[in-house]
Structure 1
Amino acid sequence: MRIFHVAQTSLAVNSAAWRIRAAQEAVGCEAVAAVHVPGDNSYSVKISFLNKRSLRLLDIVDRLPLELCRSKKKLPWHTGLWGSNIHALKKHNPDIINLHWVSGGCVDLASLRSFTQPIVWTMHDVWGVTAGCHCNLDCKLWEDGCHHCPQLGPCLYPDFSHTIWKTKKARLERIPNLSIVAPSRWLKDMVEKSPLYQGRKVVCIHNPLDVDLYRPLPKDAARAQLNILHNEKVVLFSAAGGIQVGYKGFDLLIEALHKLPGMLSQPIRLLVIGEAEPFTSKYPFPVTSLGVVTSEELLVAAYNAADVFAGPSRQDNFPNAFIEALSCGLPSVGFAVGGIPEIIEHKKRGYVANAFDVEDFATGLKFVLEYPAPHHLSTEARMWAMKKLSYFEVGRRYREFYSGLI
């Protein structure tokens, strides 16, 4: 079975798309990354004349119509009106075409109707069910056409967001062989409710993880590697883009952490991953910032050095950081939003706090940090990851789903 995974650039080894490709390869499939900008690897092919500069230009053109609107929120938004024609894929004769990143000029949805092969779209956020936002928060307008998007605000063009939504709907309806994979049941439910995908096959398959790499290691050795004291309680925050990505909720975590000193007998330390700029903010507790981490070995060391992973996201689908933490035996705390409750399981692999309730989030951190038998939480976390997220298990599920489409 030949599967071609469509993305913008060569897949990073810690991206969900790369891990899905690797999981399928692990069960005997020929899984290739079909990208506009290939990397120095043996698993990717180039599918267009585009390069990084022209992709960037397409992305700008895609978002240019948003200048007609007075945006109220600084959240990612793409129109999807323009994209690349990926017909070059046909010469490779794939059995399955698996889309990942579609917006930002990557794929022209209108061009997909000419493919005879089954097309599977693995959705990594909610862009597929909205007019164009990647993070809808508590907005429900996607259920009925995305009229007057609150993220865009007043627009010179009447009901601009609904016009974009109708265009997306018309293009999707012309793709006769489209199916959807959602990594979380939360997103699967959204897709099934969406008027954009009536009658389509939709399945939930979790994103995979190399559970042999992301594994428990001795905490003392991990702390020594990062120069962290043994008597501290370490709270880990990790997000692509660092603390500046608003929906990742770093501000909510800081509020919760300010409540912790009076609740704990030991000092706390905040460990931060993903911050591109020097970490200069002042807090009443020590902070260790590892910056942008590209080494998976260093990520594993950070997870093993911590006592709890804190993921205060305002919205997330099936975030890598949570599953990486749990696979390393690190209990996690998150809000009851998106797919997070499916990952943590309240008081079994961590703590699920009421949405955006910083008092409850602080209670969750205390619950994990003072749990009388911490190895029980760690063992539950590790066993769940090994059972649900291994390359073999997820690769097998994808292969079975593909087989039913061919």
Structure 2
Amino acid sequence: MIIYTFPIRTAFIDRDLEMICPEMKVSALEFTQSPTKLPFYFILQFFQLLWFLPRTTQYLCFFGGYHSVLPVWFGKRFKKKCIIQAGGADCMHMPEIDYGNFRKKWLRKATIYSFVNCSLILPVAKALVRQHYRYDQGISAKQGLLNLIPDLNTPIEIIPNGFDTEFWKDQNSPREPKSLISVATGTSKQSRAIVKGYDLIEQLASLHPEMKITLVGDENYFTPYSNINILGKQSKDELLALYNSHEIYLQLSTSEGFPNALAEAMACGCIPVGSSVGAIPEIIGSANLILKTKNYHDLEAIVMTIMKNDQSEAKKKSRERIVTNFDFDNRKKLLLSHLATH
């Protein structure tokens, strides 16, 4: 049995479980992101891992952090494989925007312990291994695991996310003219909104009242602009409809691993505009749709060019990019191959 631990249950956790469950027995153990609940969850997790120990063949963690410390320790102590899937914040040190595991003393220690002592690291993007960060000039250039843990010797293999493009597809329905959409959770917290690039989106809305912008994922996010529509978390079917009613998807993150919503929106025919961070350039694939540095005027120029031109060919290219390069079955095959060898 595989013990799968994570700090909070998300759509990509569900997708991993959907991949693994038909092939192997899995027990999913959610941890916490609340600092005040940490002591309780460490005790709870210890006894959960102890209870499952006789049936456990290996451990799988999404992200490195507090929740991965005990699975890694159990793995070493009882000679069971422990794999960590690196996802984003666990490979970043960006105190300037209050982001990344390495900005907090004890979280940094937990993250380093986990990555140094686990059996295998499976990042979702190459940029999480090592990157020379240039997007926001106020942030340190040295990011990624090998820059932040220079003596890291744990084997690393990149496995990008994969998507069900039979579900995420262009339904050829009418799209609202000059419509843009972005999806992110937790953005009612200001630092999180900046990480997700909402400051640039607000600027775009303020100077272009003709644009209709939808921000999905946090119903408590506040905006003073009437041309921004705020929606809370949506179901898969609701997201499918939203992607198919908008022309442009914005992924203007200051830092990112592999943004799932970007790929889902592209598979639905949205034309992407993204920042030059994490796997975003790799997902989008077209240099003219990438915001190389955090600059509003460059963003405006990219968006206006898309809106002025015929979008039919760009829509097709967006979908083809995901279908060709980020297949659900390919990720499933690679992930299962590592879980099968224990």
TM-score tier, shorter chain, comes to 0.7 to 0.9
1:337 equivalent to 2:313? Answer no
1:205 equivalent to 2:205? Answer no
TM-score norm. by structure 1 comes to 0.68
Aligned partner of 2:220: which letter? Answer: E
Preserved CA contact (<8 Å) 1:24 1:391: no
Find the counterpart in structure 1 of residue 134 from structure 2: none
359-368 vs 103-112, which moves further: 103-112
Other structure's SS at 1:255 match = helix
The residue correspondences of 1:288-307 to structure 2 (distance < 5 A) are 288-293=229-234, 295-307=235-247
Which of 317, 330, 338 does residue 393 from structure 1 map onto? 330
Preserved CA contact (<8 Å) 2:7 2:33: no
Change (3 A) 1:106 1:82: farther
Preserved CA contact (<8 Å) 2:187 2:221: no
1:19 equivalent to 2:18? Answer no
Preserved CA contact (<8 Å) 2:128 2:145: yes
Find the counterpart in structure 2 of residue 5 from structure 1: 4
Q: CA deviation at 1:212?
A: 1.7
Change (3 A) 1:213 1:106: same
Identical pairs, percent: 16
Equivalent-residue separation in structure 2 for 1:81 and 1:5 (angstroms): 15
Other structure's SS at 1:305 match = coil
Find the counterpart in structure 1 of residue 306 from structure 2: 368
Equivalent-residue separation in structure 1 for 2:73 and 2:255 (angstroms): 29
Other structure's SS at 2:45 match = coil
TM-score norm. by structure 2 comes to 0.80
Change (3 A) 1:169 1:83: farther
After the TM superposition, which parts of structure 1 deviate over 4 Å for at least 4 consecutive aligned residues? 80-83, 104-107, 135-139, 163-173
Equivalent-residue separation in structure 2 for 1:278 and 1:253 (angstroms): 13
Change (3 A) 1:234 1:399: same
Equivalent-residue separation in structure 2 for 1:61 and 1:301 (angstroms): 37
Aligned partner of 1:332: which letter? Answer: P
Find the counterpart in structure 2 of residue 255 from structure 1: 203
Find the counterpart in structure 1 of residue 140 from structure 2: none
Equivalent-residue separation in structure 1 for 2:224 and 2:85 (angstroms): 40
Find the counterpart in structure 2 of residue 236 from structure 1: 181
Q: CA deviation at 1:171?
A: 6.2
Task: Decide which structure has greater helix share.
Answer: 2
Equivalent-residue separation in structure 1 for 2:271 and 2:19 (angstroms): 25
Preserved CA contact (<8 Å) 2:84 2:115: no
Which of 20, 29, 32 does residue 26 from structure 2 map onto? 32
Preserved CA contact (<8 Å) 1:169 1:196: no
Change (3 A) 1:356 1:29: same
Change (3 A) 1:386 1:115: farther
Which of 84, 107, 122 does residue 85 from structure 2 map onto? 122
Aligned partner of 1:359: which letter? Answer: H
Equivalent-residue separation in structure 1 for 2:295 and 2:334 (angstroms): 36
Q: CA deviation at 1:259?
A: 4.2
Q: CA deviation at 1:195?
A: 2.7
Aligned partner of 1:311: which letter? Answer: Q
Find the counterpart in structure 1 of residue 36 from structure 2: 60
Equivalent-residue separation in structure 2 for 1:333 and 1:171 (angstroms): 34
Find the counterpart in structure 2 of residue 214 from structure 1: 168
Q: CA deviation at 1:286?
A: 2.4
Other structure's SS at 2:157 match = strand
Find the counterpart in structure 1 of residue 133 from structure 2: none
Other structure's SS at 1:60 match = helix
Deviations 1:330-373 (A, max 9, x none): 111111122211111225xx71012211111111212322233x
Change (3 A) 1:33 1:367: farther
209-218 vs 163-172, which moves further: 163-172
Find the counterpart in structure 2 of residue 84 from structure 1: 45
1:282 equivalent to 2:214? Answer no
1:98 equivalent to 2:98? Answer no
**Number of residues of Structure 1 aligned to a counterpart in Structure 2:** 323
Q: CA deviation at 1:260?
A: 4.3
Deviations 1:85-123 (A, max 9, x none): 2233323333x4211155355753544422422211011
Q: CA deviation at 1:34?
A: 2.1
Preserved CA contact (<8 Å) 1:329 1:381: yes
Q: CA deviation at 1:381?
A: 1.6
Change (3 A) 1:170 1:196: farther
Equivalent-residue separation in structure 1 for 2:84 and 2:252 (angstroms): 28
Preserved CA contact (<8 Å) 1:84 1:107: no
Equivalent-residue separation in structure 2 for 1:211 and 1:256 (angstroms): 30
> Cα RMSD over matched residues?
3.5
Preserved CA contact (<8 Å) 1:83 1:106: no
Equivalent-residue separation in structure 2 for 1:272 and 1:352 (angstroms): 20
Deviations 1:15-46 (A, max 9, x none): 21221232345xx6215242158xxxxxxxxx
Aligned partner of 1:216: which letter? Answer: D
The residue correspondences of 1:39-58 to structure 2 (distance < 5 A) are none
Preserved CA contact (<8 Å) 2:2 2:56: no
Aligned partner of 1:30: which letter? Answer: M
Deviations 1:43-84 (A, max 9, x none): xxxxxxxxxxxx577x31649xxxxxxxxxxxxxxxx99883
- Structure of higher CA gyration radius: 1
